[in-house]
Structure 1
Amino acid sequence: MDTHDTAPVRGGPVTAPPAVGRAARGARRAAALLAVLLLAQPSPPALAAPAPARAAPAAPEPVELAIAVDQSGSLRASDVERERDAAGRIAVGEISAASRLTVLGFASADNDEQSPVDEVCPTTELDPVAREKTGECIGRLARRGEGTGTGTDFPAVIRQAVTRLGEHGADRPRVLFLLTDGKLDVTGSPAYGPDEDSRRENGERELRKALAEAADAEVQIWPLGFGEGIDEKALDAMAAGGYQGGCADLPDARPRATAVPDSTTLGNALQRAFAGARCLVTDPPVEDKPPADISVRLSPLATLATIVVSKGDPEVRATYYDPRGRKVEPGTRADGSRFELAGAGGEVESLRITDPRPGDWQVRLDAPEGHRDKLASVSVQWRGAVRSSIVMTPASPRPGEEVRIELGLQTRDDEGVSDPEDLRRLRVSGRLTGDGFAPQDLDLGDKGANGDGKAGDGRFTGTVRIPEGADGALKAVGVLGAVGLTADHRPFLTRTAPVNPDVRAELRVDDAEVHPGESVPFVLLASNDSGEPRTLRLYPRDTEPGAVDVSPAEITLAPGESVNRGGTLTVDAGQRPHRLTARVEVLDLGERGRPLDAKLVGLDVTPVPPRWEVLWEKWWWALVSALVAVLGLTGYALWRRRQQATDVDPGGLRLSLTVPGGSGERTASEVDVPRGRGPWYRFDVLDEYGTDPRLHPSPGGEYAVQRDPRTGVRLRTPDGAERALPLGQDVPLHGEARLRVERGTAGGNRRGGGPAVVRWLADLLPRRRPAPGSGPGGGNGQQPAPGPHAPSSYDDDLSDAL
């Protein structure tokens, strides 16, 4: 993926630096990478661009850095104190230990014994020891007093900085941070003329010359405005007068002035300026008073990061925790990262992290009583890398044919980039080159329009028509524009196809979720209309070698043969959980590896679940079926048992006792059998031999009655004999009494009216028996005979439940 170099370059346009030394180093790195690739994986086909092997993050490019601090009388002591704080933040925030730093204090020389520039920190390489000493010498900066040269000599300090930045002759970016109110004042300096008017005019002329010298020496000037009445116009002119070649052709990477009117804006203003000058990604600092826990996010794109803590008070102590909650021990390596602490014990300190774990890092600020009143800030700045994978559909287009270009982004760990916060930092486009036509820019978007499948998924899509004059090789490559991010160059290489190609192929594969060691299916449709056998090769690219295995890897088609062949993409069993992205190509080996089709595939690698979860996913249908069968059988058995009880339940019958009387018979006693009394309803006949016999319900009665599904009713008499009778038949008892059993007013043996679910609930309710001695029957345990319409206790249970 093409990108503008993300570190300042020297000697020409940022896209083509002329420095021979840098080009030679780049050639050596490319040769070393190629050697690793040739040894690490099989030789790819002729047109194939090999997938780069995983490499350790590159060390940040060192710079020549100078900080010029205005000590003139136009500033207050508090302004110089804030300048001193800013200088300390820059010194500890520099990401490369190989960078060299010079700190200059400046005002003016109002006589021959004075110097306009004080070199408070001589040029030194910023290793951890040097950073500590730099903090000490920066602390000596102070506002000049009366009679010590209190003007503002910009020409002198710019020339001094240009000299120091170039004296080592290193082919490095050169950056000057100019901390001042922007007010040129050499009216008291004899070196600029005999009087104030000539000095003012000569000072302005010399400033223009000094800025031109800085531009010729490729020194960027980044002014930071402090004090009251900041001359922003003058600061802008100084930023524009220096070298304009930044790390990228983007507005944020070009030198610019930033005003810092008060201490509350210092952190944010300085951070933006420093990030722009050093081509770093940064977010606004987070502020709080100790004790406090402050969280800052590090993107998965980050390869090198610095957490800068401006404590406001040297007594404040900072403790760092990684996204897993583990305490960071400076000077150690852990979890693949290396940690270096600078500035501990001072007002500003920084933790430098190589190859940081992405996520939310915590900074815990503690301070003793009496040192908690000043606002502290925590900021993070980082440099990162992004990898691209690009495909063209159709893979071998014809001249004049419209093609779809799709580009996916990956982190250095081959993980897809889809976080909105990361995507908003990127400006993605593309470029199409080839034989027979001029290069064309590609408009790629991730907004779910113009062929893009889904907005915000990290896949940028666009369309372009292949020029009619295209004849031969084609190359599509992505272009990244972003401060602080480098990108690789992994193009899609192909050739134009004839109008009717002999061999065609289409690969069908979807994004999927998969566990390590498992596979996802694909389908390959291919045909061979040539007169000879052709071998197609399926090749995974743009991912770590061995991360994804394709099976089958090769398919041979006989002349005239068409296939619809299934296969699998298998994720290596050692893959950690993440979103794995790859480009899978179908190549025709008979045409020097011409791509027939290519797809970007996203595989969400998820942890292997526990064994019980695997068994459940595999056999859930059998377990559910068995459970349903058991519940069904149990329910049927209960229903059958209840049904059998219902078949003989005497509930709903009416017992009548008749005796002779007058010209016929009269009913001496009558009882409706309540529901839910069990299979037998027991009762006695009182005064059975007398003239006034009565039916008396009793749990221990000598008579009992139940239904008989065949005849109607079954009667048990005191002698223990049972007999089956039809309903409505009179049965002689002792004496003149006769017993008749017939359907009551409720009819049949219904369990009660209403919906079936109510009856089902009624069947489930327990039968409630009256306690001995309760009710109108007295203490003999006998139940009173309910009237024809009196509700039973079973009915009461149902009413209570409903």
Structure 2
Amino acid sequence: MVVALALTIPVSLPVRSATADLIPETIPLDMVVAVDESGSLSAADVSREVEASTTIARSVLNPLSRVTVLGFGSNNGAAGQRAVDEICRPTVADSDVSLQYLSTCVKGLHLRTKAEGNDTDHVAVLAQALSTMRDGSPRRALKVIFLLTDGRLDVPFSPSYGSGLGTDPRVRERRNEAAEQQLTTLIGQAQQAGVQIWPLGFGAAVTQDSLDRFAIGGSREGCDERGDSQPKARVVRDARDVTRSLYEAYAAATCSGLSRTDSGTLKSGQSRDLTIDIPVIATDGTITVSKSDPRVLAQFIDPNGRVVPGSGQFGDSSFARSGENTATEALRIVNPVNGTWTVRLKAPERLADQLVSATALWQGAVQAAIVPEPPFARTGQNVRVWLSLITRKGAITDEEALRGLAFSVTAAGGGLLGQQSIQLRDDGETPDDRANDGRYAGTFQAPQTAGDITLTGVVAGTGIRAERVPITVKVGAPETVTQGRVEFFTDGTVRRGTTIRGRLTMRNATSSARRVRLQLDGDTAADVAPAAGFELPPGDSVKDFVVRFGANAALGGATLTVRLVDERDQSAVYASGLLTVAVAPPETFWDRYRGQLAAAAVALLLLALTLWQWRLAWKRRVHVKGLHAALSKEGVQVGGELPAPTKWSPEFRFTIRDANGYDTRLVTFRSGAGEPCYSVRRDKDVGVLLRTPDGDRHRLAFGAESELLPSGHRLVFRDNRRRRALWPRDRRRSAPRPGTERPQEERQKTVPDYDDPWA
């Protein structure tokens, strides 16, 4: 099973002096697919022909295109034999019904038996194809015959090419010779009628020479002037490559782009996703899914993750689906979402493993805008020319989408000696002013004699066809010329509801003021201010203006042309400028203040972290862990030491148990026991603050005895915690002096260091 995506770009690229008023459309095709059914092919060969023909028959994009499918063998004189069968009648692909018909009629192709006439009559099929194209061909259609054959003319038993018995070798030879002469004549008629022939040959007996005569002998006028667009013969040695090879031929014939192929195996009861990239420049397409089993289900998912419908409008795109219940399914798209599409295939249970693949054949309906600066030049003056490319969706500003296309302008007429080619660039180097903005710039020097110069913009490359439309630059004597320059101050992006500043730098070489006004042409909702006319004084002058983009301006690339015209005669253009920008949604609160909000968020985060760290340091600093309390009487310790609790607490509370007995000791205070409570808090790093049960407060240094308690004892406190220094000292300087080291067991009992709060 083969999944094929046929996305088609315009076959017309009008180059206009301003943004075109008409929406760009693809050019229609008049296409005949002629399929060899002769006995010199195998059943597998014909099966591949059917698959390829089905795919191509519905790959046309313009709904005015017409498709005809012919099957051919030979007429050997037996009753009921026909050299050519009209498998699919001439069908304009303008509706779901037409597309559905093209999905099913191709199943009439088959391998002919001897009784049906299974020799190879190229004369008959070529005559039928040319006759079809003479009647009812769409206006301005590109006429193309795709000939799928083994390439060998063979009609030894056909009485149409001479009488006699087919058992006579000389009769068979004369018939083939006569057919060869007629074939040469018909190929010449195809050239005169402007019909291209693209042969695709396969089978054991095919030769390159037998195919080349069709490609070279027919019309050589391709969709553009590139050599790749002229008909070529292709020989396919592996029948499995027939569909891909026919796609390549179709892409070359129609100036389309062909993507990589994504392939894999679809297993019984499982799903498989195939991905296809549709470039920014693509505006029309057909996704064709060729399935060996009609029960395989297909879903088409756009780059936004949405399953698109089979027909009707969805967002900015429209769809027409056909062939759901056949082995080949197609979805035609107008204005597809650009990006990576997914074809999701679901196999029914108990279906044999199938090889599936996806291919993109794409086109984009494009036009070009060409603007000279200035439009009225002085003799000998350098003239800058701007050229940009637009689609139905707006201007193409994406650098990747324009890569591989060649932009140029030719100048002819007036005082020029022959045609001059003007090379264009979009790299920010002179004469270009901003790199990769979709505006290509070049310069040429006006001749020394006055006259009209014709500029013709040319854009060529895979995926487009250039149709040349000229613009005129008037060249006059310096003293009679009024001209200027239009500048725009932008970074290439503008938001809905905002403006772009511009500036006119003018020189009126006449002796009187001229009444002028600004004029704006574009493909989006915008206007220019000042809208009223104004005086252009003699000499040099500068005037600022703005281009305002409406709240409903179309998002994406936009191309606009600002002209300074004579108010009385608006055909007199004194200055013009080409503006190409990307229109973005209106600025939100976040867009406007995100820098300040981000800075405030960072500041708050840092403040919160600082306060958090400060609190952690404070808690470590006031934590009573590490304090030890002891009783002494007449300088002798009574009982053991009582350590402070290890659980965090800023206060160490205890009581004296059996104060007047023989087992006097300190114990942790428990509320509700009715015992007197002593409490201690740290006094920085030098001692403690002691509060007695009667409320008296005393400050004690570590190691110092308290005042005499009612029991006759005194309290002594020590601390085995050390403070961590903010700046670590040199280890050598902080080493203890000999004889002052603490015992090992005391060092092991030392509580870990705590942080300085400022650290």
Following superposition, the deviation at residue 269 of structure 1 comes to: 0.8
The alpha carbon displacement at 1:532 in A equals: 5.1
What is the CA distance between 1:234 and its match in structure 2?
Answer: 0.6
Structure 2 unmatched runs, 5+ = 1-8, 164-169, 623-634, 638-648, 652-668, 670-675, 684-688, 700-707, 709-721, 730-741
Matched, 1:61 2:38: no
Please state how far the C-alpha of 1:512 moved relative to its aligned partner. 4.3
What is the alpha-carbon distance in structure 1 between the residues aligned to residue 118 and residue 403 of structure 2? 46
Q: In the alignment, which residue of structure 2 is the partner of 1:220?
A: 196
Q: 1:515 to 1:134 in 2, by over 3 A?
A: closer
1:573 counterpart (536, 548, 551): 551
TM superposition shift of 1:606: 3.6
Report if aligned partners of 1:221, 1:255 keep a CA contact under 8 Å in 2: yes
Aligned twin of 2:754: 798
Partner of 2:70: 104
Instruction: Report how many aligned residue pairs link the two structures.
Output: 701
> In structure 1, which of residues 417, 420, 428 is the aligned counterpart of residue 407 of structure 2?
428
Letter in 1 for 2:246: L
- Decide whether aligned partners of structure 1 residues 395 and 623 sit closer, same or farther in structure 2, where only a CA change above 3 A counts: farther
Give the 3 Å change call, closer, same or farther, for CA 332–236 of structure 1 in structure 2: same
Partner of 2:186: 210
**For 1:672-687, what aligned pairs fall within 5 Å after superposition?**
none
2:443 maps to a residue whose letter is V
1:478 alignment counterpart: 457
2:342 and 2:599 map into 1 onto residues whose CA distance is 49
| C-alpha separation in 2, matches of 1:460 and 1:228 | 50
**Cα distance between partner residues in 2 of 1:192 and 1:800:** 113
Residue 340 (str. 1) matches residue 316 (str. 2): no
Partner of 1:177: 146
Q: Give the structure 2 partner of residue 71 of structure 1.
A: 37
Name the amino acid aligned to 2:528: V
The DSSP-based 3-state class of the residue aligned with 2:395 is coil
Match of 2:288 among 308, 322, 326: 308
Contact 2:438 2:580 in 1 (8 A): no
SS at match of 1:182: coil
Secondary structure, in 3 states, of the residue corresponding to 2:369?
A: strand
Cα deviation, 1:264-286, whole Å, max 9, x if unaligned, reads 31221111223344454443554
**Equivalent residue, structure 2, for 1:687:** none
Q: Give yes or no for the alignment of 1:374 onto 2:330.
A: no
Give the number of the structure whose alpha-carbon radius of gyration is greater. 1
Q: Distance in 1 between matches of 2:755 and 2:515?
A: 81
CA contact (8 A) 2:558 2:581 kept: yes
Q: Distance in 2 between matches of 1:246 and 1:53?
A: 27
> Which of 442, 452, 472 is matched with 2:422 structurally?
442
Give 1:417's aligned amino acid: T
The separation in 1 between residues aligned to 2:194 and 2:205, in whole angstroms, is 30
Structure 1: unaligned runs, 5 residues or longer:
9-14, 16-25, 31-47, 647-666, 670-676, 680-698, 708-713, 725-732, 734-750, 759-785
**Residue pair 1:389, 1:490 contacting (<8 A) in 2 also:** no
Alignment partners' CA distance in 2, 1:256 and 1:270: 11
- 8 Å contact kept, 1:396–1:497: no
Does residue 528 of structure 2 align to residue 550 of structure 1? yes
TM-score normalised over the length of structure 1: 0.68
Instruction: Give the residue type in structure 1 aligned to 2:290.
Output: S
The amino acid that maps onto 1:362 is T
Structure 1 residue 596, shift from structure 2 partner: 4.1
Q: Quick check: 396-405 or 445-454, which moved more?
A: 445-454
Return the offset for 1:6: 6.8
Q: Does 1:458 align with 2:424?
A: no
Q: Percent identity?
A: 28
Displacement of 1:180 in angstroms is: 1.0
Residues 150 and 203 in structure 2, CA contact (< 8 A), matched pair in contact too: yes
Question: Hey, what's the Cα distance between the residues in 2 that align with 1:558 and 1:140?
Answer: 73
Relative to structure 1, the CA distance from residue 591 to residue 71 in structure 2 (aligned partners, 3 Å threshold; closer, same or farther) is: closer
The question of 1:90 aligning with 2:56 is answered yes
CA separation of 1:798 and 1:519: change in aligned 2, threshold 3 A: same
Can you list the C-alpha shifts for 1:295-345, whole angstroms capped at 9, x where unaligned? 333344444322222113333232323343333333423324332223332
Cα distance, 1:232 vs structure 2: 1.8
Q: Distance in 2 between matches of 1:720 and 1:113?
A: 130
Q: Does 1:328 align with 2:304?
A: no
**Counterpart residue number, 2:641:** none
Describe the shift of the 1:131–1:314 C-alpha distance in structure 2 as closer, same or farther (beyond 3 A). same
Q: How does 1:616-635 map to 2 (within 5 A)?
A: 616-617=593-594, 620=597
Residue number in structure 2 paired with 1:511: 491
User: In structure 2, how many angstroms separate the alpha carbons of the residues matched to 1:66 and 1:222?
Assistant: 10
Contact 2:280 2:339 in 1 (8 A): yes
Choose from 90, 93, 108 the match for 1:140. 108
Structure 2 counterpart SS, 1:324:
coil
Residue 468 in structure 1 maps to residue 430 in structure 2: no
Q: Contact conserved, 2:383 with 2:446, CA < 8 A, in 1? A: no
2:368 is equivalent to residue 388 of structure 1: yes
- Number of the residue aligned with 1:156: 124
Contact 1:505 1:527 in 2 (8 A): no
Whether contact under 8 Å (1:287, 1:375) holds in the other structure is: yes
Q: Is the 8 A contact 1:305 1:353 kept in 2?
A: yes
**Distance between the aligned counterparts of 1:402 and 1:155, measured in 2?**
58
- Judge conservation of contact 1:62–1:99 (CA < 8 Å) in 2: yes
Q: Which residue of 1 aligns with 2:386?
A: 406
- Once residues 521 and 793 of structure 1 are traced to their aligned partners in structure 2, the CA distance between those partners, rounded to angstroms, is 76
Q: Which has the higher strand share?
A: 2
Contact 1:187–1:196 (Cα < 8 Å) also in 2: yes
Local SS of the residue matching 1:283: strand
* Offset from partner CA, 1:345-370 (integer Å, 9 cap, x none): 22223222234343333322223234
Distance in 2 separating the partners of 1:390 and 1:468: 20
Instruction: Determine which structure has greater relative contact order: mean sequence separation of CA pairs < 8 Å that are 6+ residues apart, divided by chain length.
Output: 2
The RMSD of aligned alpha carbons is 6.0
The one of 286, 293, 297 equivalent to 2:273 is: 293
CA contact (8 A) 1:322 1:360 kept: yes
Matches within 5 A, 1:513-528: 513-522=493-502
Quote the Cα distance in structure 1 between the aligned partners of 2:609 and 2:295.
Answer: 74
State the alpha-carbon separation in 2 of the partners of residues 553 and 140 from structure 1.
64
Structure 1 residues 757 and 624, CA gap change in structure 2 (3 angstroms): farther
